[in-house]
Chains A and B, each alone.
Chain A
């Protein structure tokens, strides 16, 4: 099955020129909270992708019936229901993962990307386009999370996915030290800023006139 140009854009744009985190600057709050280590960042990225995709489809199917004045509430209810269901299912069938995620599952409800995509895309487009847009946005978010978490865990703790990379005596004795500052939330913002800088330098379309 080949995708039409519009569908391809719905899927690919959030990964590149319309990234939810670096271009739309949504979901920054959770990008700060879960990126001290790579593993929670990966799981969070995956969970958000699934939930934004499903929520996009549900809202897209309901879009013609939703009363305009309470549309935000409807969107919020759909998202909160999905998140709660995912969390209940995880607790019953994948308890270890749910323990690992702990607060992050709840944090998904407050992720601005969800509301942003529902309001800006799913309310005007069909279910299939919305599904693609949801997956694209989720992956675009996950991409930034993983990049930020990679640098924070590597430079902050000297590890990646809890595997030791830099904590060996030979490296530490040569004068290298893990930078504790990387573990603090502000560094996530600074790394995000660097990514935005890099993207803008490479893509003229993103620069203001």
Chain B
């Protein structure tokens, strides 16, 4: 490219000009982004909290509601710690995205029946995967399940969020004879010994195994409560 001399007579190629230009540009951009982030931050956090509540409701098979917040308050009864003791914190005050979000049990009531929702988190192929598993009052039968991911491959690993995958978990048991066995995700056509299993996703093997590991390790954290 030809040297760029503008009409005012100073060179846009001089070192001073280049440095000043870079500094001014960076300052403007930094200010712009910082302003945008702090102006939009509270709205974004509110969205994230609301979305997390929708995810918990989704594990309870509640996907249609006009007001997620109200539906959440109606169905979630208590917050329990990982041994099943009450957390001493009202549902309305609990931050579902807070530091202890993965160490609590949501005791819920769906049409009068008690359900327990347990948060799960793990690592997929490219990034984090997480979910919520809802158990019946017997703490073993899966009532509903929700999975999500940060960056799994679209059409392959990302299929874990689809009903076709999630619905397989329903009515499976995470316990056998009072022992926590979890639910394995196995290759289609194969079986897992001594525990319930579901089919993985063809082409999404690593994500499928990651889900299997995530369900097991996350439930392990609550073993005391589940096998009590």
Residues of A at the B interface (CB closer than 8 Å) are 33-34, 36-37, 40, 64-71, 73-74, 77, 81, 84-85, 88-89, 91-93, 95, 99, 102-103, 123, 152-153, 156-157, 180, 183-184
Main secondary structure, interface of B, reads: helix
The 26 listed contacts between A and B (C-beta, < 8 Å) are A36-B153, A37-B154, A40-B154, A65-B6, A65-B12, A65-B21, A66-B4, A67-B4, A67-B13, A67-B17, A68-B4, A70-B21, A74-B21, A74-B25, A81-B32, A85-B32, A85-B33, A88-B36, A92-B40, A92-B44, A93-B43, A95-B44, A99-B51, A123-B1, A157-B155, A180-B202
B residues within 8 A CB of A180? 202-203
Picked from A34, A64, A85, A184, the residue with its CB within 8 Å of the CB of B4 is A64
- Complex CA gap A37/B161 in Å reads 15
A103 to B47, CA, bound (A): 18
Name the B residues within 8 Å of A91 (CB-CB).
40, 44, 47
B156: contacting residue among A70, A153, A183, CB under 8 A: A183
Contact A34 B154, CB 8 Å, known A68-B12, A89-B40, A180-B203: yes
Q: Taking beta carbons and an 8 Å cutoff, which residues of B are in contact with A?
A: 1, 3-4, 6, 12-13, 17-18, 21-22, 25-26, 29, 32-33, 36-37, 40, 43-44, 47-48, 50-51, 150-151, 153-156, 202-203
A157 to B40, CA, bound (A): 38
A68 to chain B, nearest CB (A): 5
The A contact surface, by secondary structure, is: helix
Given A64-B4, A69-B18, A77-B26, residue A103 in contact with residue B40 (CB < 8 A) = no
The answer for the CA separation of A36 and B152 in the assembled complex, in Å, is 12
Residues of B within 8 A of A64 (CB): 4, 6, 12
